Structure 1
């Protein structure tokens, strides 16, 4: 039963200071079209307004609940610490996936020489079909955004002076910055497929979220995050001189489950005695 705070005992603010939290969840993502610049010993060209999508795994107990396969879907993990009742710092991994759409027509500018393919030539705002023999380009293992965030956390029921036994309804918002460590899966101009982790760039993001906490410790949370990714150093083949660069905006929706815990409460209480 929901009751007005003024009809009950004085309603106190939740004390999250010194608590830790952790969550695990899943995301869906949307990306703006981006220009991708490829360069190497015998080529230097740009593709304009390339379309890409995410690649979320269809829901099922396997792999979503299978411990040996839970990183196959697009996932989120975060651990954080409340340094004040309403503020936390945290470190997390947003494991997204980015898949260039095959067989789209885009504009190309630049040159390709001595590739051993039919794509040699000089291009000036020409159309080209992104077929598999020309380019396959994905960050599917994945588009890994490792980020630090600062977050504010407010109990909506506190603000409105309501009390709901054993349930707290909270709003959270904040911003973060971090690094991009993609495992890019690329096949370019007949070269052998390249699929290795590489520190490729950086990102920045902001978000808002809604949190429902049960019995002060367990929660489910939904978030909407928007951000900017810039990767000036993407590996594309086994040859170190072959690189690509791109930047784009992203929008991410998350559903998360987690817990709050206080591992130093007994020591602090004892110190006050």
Structure 2
């Protein structure tokens, strides 16, 4: 019969081995990132620099200088989670993969909304020479950097369905929980992220130019590049809230404006986004 002393002596080596294994094994699901997949959905507010917009067609070629614009916020609304109305607010979607402990690759869509400020005064340079029976013929003439008011009968110009930036992104991801003395990272974890991205612009442009019938379809119109930095708050291992500041450059040299393929517009500008997203992170 084994005595208590003998039993304890027999178990001690296994107990010591178990303690050593716990020290050398990964601490938790949250402390190891490689191989994880993450998805997120959120909303944004966007700002744009003034831009020069050039319009070309068979009977016109002119540039509007220093045109002002703004976004089209929805505010806190159920449309953000209503599948049939998700394109109405300004939204952000992303899916990514941890290729290592600190680096990720991702695909995303930033659904911004760009609205030219109506009734502003801009400088126009170029010419308009429409047929006299066309409604916009009242604007015919040669212009040499003269002011013009951008009324709706002259121009309405929006990327409101939307200014869609479809991009790929490479990011770094760092756990900074220890700085804030957070002990249990499976319950709450703080991370910072920095990323660089590039992609294409795929807008559905709402343009009413010189009273012509607008083009009403999605069209690849140019490219964009971006930089981002964010704060990622992880809750209960699998869920997170993320805030990002994101800026970049957009160059669209092939914007469809009317039903005629001969008509087009081009513009370039810098943009800045403030993004809040909810997401999940898991392994397959």
TM-score relative to the length of structure 1: 0.89
Q: Distance in 1 between matches of 2:200 and 2:264?
A: 18
Superposed displacement of residue 230, structure 1: 0.2
Within-5 A mapping of 1:10-21: 14-21=31-38
1:157 aligned partner: 177
Deviation, 1:261, is 1.0
Structure 1 residues not aligned, in runs of 5+:
1-8, 264-273
Which has more helix, going by share of residues?
Answer: 2
What pairs up with 1:8-87 in 2 under 5 angstroms?
A: 14-61=31-78, 63-87=79-103
SS at match of 1:118: helix
Residue of 247, 259, 263 corresponding to 1:238? 259
Superposition map of 1:83-98 within 5 A: 83-98=99-114
Residue 122 of structure 2 corresponds to residue 106 of structure 1: yes
Structure 1, 67-76 or 97-106: larger mean CA deviation: 67-76
Structure with greater strand share of residues:
1
Distance in 2 between the 1:73 and 1:50 partners?
A: 24
Whether the 8 Å contact between 1:185 and 1:196 is mirrored in structure 2 is: no
Corresponding residue for residue 163 of structure 2: 143
Measure the CA separation in 2 of the matches of 1:163 and 1:31: 41
Q: Secondary structure at the match of 1:183?
A: coil
CA deviation profile, 1:74-117 (whole Å, cap 9, x unmatched):
00000000000110000000000000011000000000002532
Query: 1:61-86 deviations in whole A, cap 9, x for unaligned?
Result: 2x223222122100000000000011
Aligned residue number for residue 190 of structure 2: 169
Equivalent pairs counted in the alignment come to: 254
Question: Rg larger in 1 or in 2?
Answer: 2
Report the Cα distance in structure 2 between the residues aligned to 1:65 and 1:160, rounded to whole angstroms.
33
The two structures have a TM-score, normalised by structure 2, of 0.86
In 2, distance between residues paired with 1:235 and 1:167?
A: 47
